[in-house]
Amino acid sequence: SVTRSISETTLEKMSGLLQSFTMTPQKEQSRGGMRRQNSMTDMKLRSSESTNSIPRLRRNASTSSDMSSLASQGPPSNSAPLRRASSWTFDEKMLVQALYKILHKVSKKSPIVLYIRDVEKFLHKSPKMYLLFEKLLTKLEGPVLLLGSRIVDMDFDDDELDDRLSALFPYSIDIKPPENENCLVSWNSQLEEDMKIIQFQDNRNHITEVLAENDLECLDLGSICLSDTMGLSKYIEEIVVSAVSYHLMNHKDPEYRNGKLILSAKR
The string of DSSP letters for 136-172 reads HHHH--SSEEEEEEEEE-TT----PPPHHHHHHS--E
Burial class (CB in 10 A: 0-12, 13-18, 19+), 173: buried
Q: What is the pLDDT along the chain (267 residues), one digit of tens a residue?
A: 444 444 444 444 444 433 333 333 444 444 444 444 555 554 443 333 333 333 333 334 444 444 443 444 444 444 444 444 445 556 788 989 999 999 999 999 999 999 988 888 888 877 788 899 999 988 988 899 998 887 666 565 555 667 888 888 888 777 778 889 999 999 999 989 988 888 888 899 899 989 988 999 988 888 888 888 888 999 999 989 888 998 899 888 899 988 899 988 876
Say what the pTM is.
0.54
DSSP 81-117: PS------SS-HHHHHHHHHHHHHHHHTTS-EEEEET
Give Cα 152 distance to the centre of its chain: 15
Task: Tell me the C-alpha distance between 22 and 188, whole Å.
Answer: 19
- Cβ(26)–Cβ(165) under 8 Å? no
What phi and psi values does residue 18 have, to the nearest 5 degrees? -80, 130
**Which residues contact residue 224 at a Cβ distance below 8 angstroms, ignoring those fewer than 6 apart?**
204, 232, 265
Residue 48: enclosing H or E segment and its boundaries? none
Please give the DSSP secondary-structure letter assigned to residue 54: P
